[in-house]
Structure 1
């Protein structure tokens, strides 16, 4: 890809730029931030690692939205961060205001791009970005499930002592406390989790996954997670840039899938050169469907606040 833009040069945005640069996924990576010097400083700092890490990507940063002109993919990480005790929905009103301004810049400077939303609450903001752009849903999607599934897999590895390379997990639903870890679709090299752990351990992992971001926030106090989110973004970007057509949990606009419409939710999707190319609809059992609908109701309630 010739150019990727990252809007928001905070911790998630800067870590994302570093991961993308190291992987040479774009010839140019542009960072945009309203704070004077923040984007330029982050870009220069990362650029100076190029000789040591061996990448050729060129990084630029500015406060001028013109810096993202011509980007083929725009990653939105800007927004008011959570503080300890806050939910993702608590930052909704301010972050919608920030997102609306960003979308104005994106549609003007990079009208042919695809948008990957990361800012919280990501399900609602993905919906808002799609609504404001009027673009096809293949071009506007969000990151949540890749991060949630990675957290779940990490917790399984810590519990069992087994290699993360063999652990595969899946998390659906909204990116919040009502997310839906899919135990039927998770396992270790094709073997169900219950062969390695008892139900109490599995239940602990499910709860820890649901509160994974809050756990890190409570420990750090001064910041939320940024390395794991950036790694999740990189996995999605790589699938798109290299046209890998990977099946990854993605916040996508639903149009009848999973018996839901007019909402953005985390579901398995095929990611490739066309962006969010296809939604993979799983056959949920009664318990899974009930949990999914509970998660959906929370996202719907936040979307309705915006109307």
Structure 2
């Protein structure tokens, strides 16, 4: 009988890494969790704290502190290390520092003989995910980032306050950069299977006050609204990382808006951006190409142009 142990390493045990670790342990998503951080005492403290959750969960997750050299047998390496934006900065402003940190991470992990899946959360996540792909030399399906998964969740949460339905009954995505140039694919958003734009048309009297531009602006600014109040965001992205990890291990074939390396999809290549993607045990199995409207396609092109401008600053 062949037994498979689900092994995850998290590089970076700041707020995001620790929140991801807590979600993984609390939801029993992996069997073994290894924490890696330049601050080994911080990593050890987080590992000890997570181990004390075991009695309150339905199965045991073995939590340890490790190093890049021990990543060879990991199924998934989650990368959260990087430079968080300071007040007044955008995610793109953290690129130079994050790129330097993540290059050293990838180098260390790959020297171990790692051949699993990189899952990236470090911002600016689309560009950093592309960097991880280039530096690792792994197939594009084995490198993905959190992309607009959290933004899509924020979109559903905000819409649910207007439509008065459970966010989980709303299906749709934001695409493009995990940042200011992202856009909502309104033409493909449905509520209970019914097109959202049709619902707006049929309920003008009750829903006529909904401003779509204002809603997507709220989505774009949500992270910074949180940052300005509590210093940074970590619960939402921690849950997003756990959800994507679960879908990989379970071979779910679930469609999630993640940062994916494009190779001709939507007419783009050699760029990583947020698009609906089928997630399986292989990682980013297949990009789902939505039939975007002309306006949505223009916004997608603009978003990718923004990403390319910043990619060029680090040699891509």
Query: TM range, normalised to the smaller chain?
Result: over 0.9
Task: State the partner residue of 2:300.
Answer: 292
1:198-257 deviation line (CA, Å, top 9, x unaligned) = 36433321110111211111122x2x1100001111111111000011111111111111
2:167 to 143, 164, 167: 164
Task: State the partner residue of 2:289.
Answer: 281
Q: TM-score, normalised by structure 2?
A: 0.92
The runs of 5 or more residues in structure 1 that have no matched partner are none
User: Cα RMSD between the aligned structures?
Assistant: 1.5
Give me the whole-angstrom Cα distance separating, in 2, the residues matched to 1:165 and 1:255. 31
Q: Which moved more, 1:48-57 or 1:195-204?
A: 195-204
Give me the whole-angstrom Cα distance separating, in 1, the residues matched to 2:134 and 2:15. 27
Task: State the partner residue of 1:271.
Answer: 279
1:147 to 132, 146, 150: 150
Is this contact kept in 1: 2:147–2:273, CA < 8 A? no
How many matched pairs? 304
Task: State the partner residue of 1:234.
Answer: 242
Is structure 2 residue 99 aligned with structure 1 residue 96?
A: yes
TM superposition outliers: structure 1 runs of 4+ over 4 Å = none
Give me the whole-angstrom Cα distance separating, in 1, the residues matched to 2:113 and 2:51. 23
The runs of 5 or more residues in structure 2 that have no matched partner are 201-206
User: By how many angstroms is 1:276 displaced?
Assistant: 0.7
Give me the whole-angstrom Cα distance separating, in 2, the residues matched to 1:84 and 1:159. 30
1:138-161 deviation line (CA, Å, top 9, x unaligned) = 111111221111011111122233
Is structure 2 residue 258 aligned with structure 1 residue 255?
A: no
Task: State the partner residue of 2:313.
Answer: 305
1:22-33 residue pairs with structure 2 within 5 A? Answer: 22-33=26-37
Is this contact kept in 2: 1:27–1:57, CA < 8 A? yes
Task: State the partner residue of 2:185.
Answer: 182
Task: State the partner residue of 1:209.
Answer: 219
1:87 to 75, 87, 90: 90
1:114-144 deviation line (CA, Å, top 9, x unaligned) = 1011100011101111111111101111112
Is structure 2 residue 141 aligned with structure 1 residue 133?
A: no
Give me the whole-angstrom Cα distance separating, in 1, the residues matched to 2:87 and 2:160. 27
Give the direction of change, closer, same or farther, for the CA distance of 1:38–1:110 in structure 2 (3 Å limit). Answer: farther
Q: TM-score, normalised by structure 1?
A: 0.95
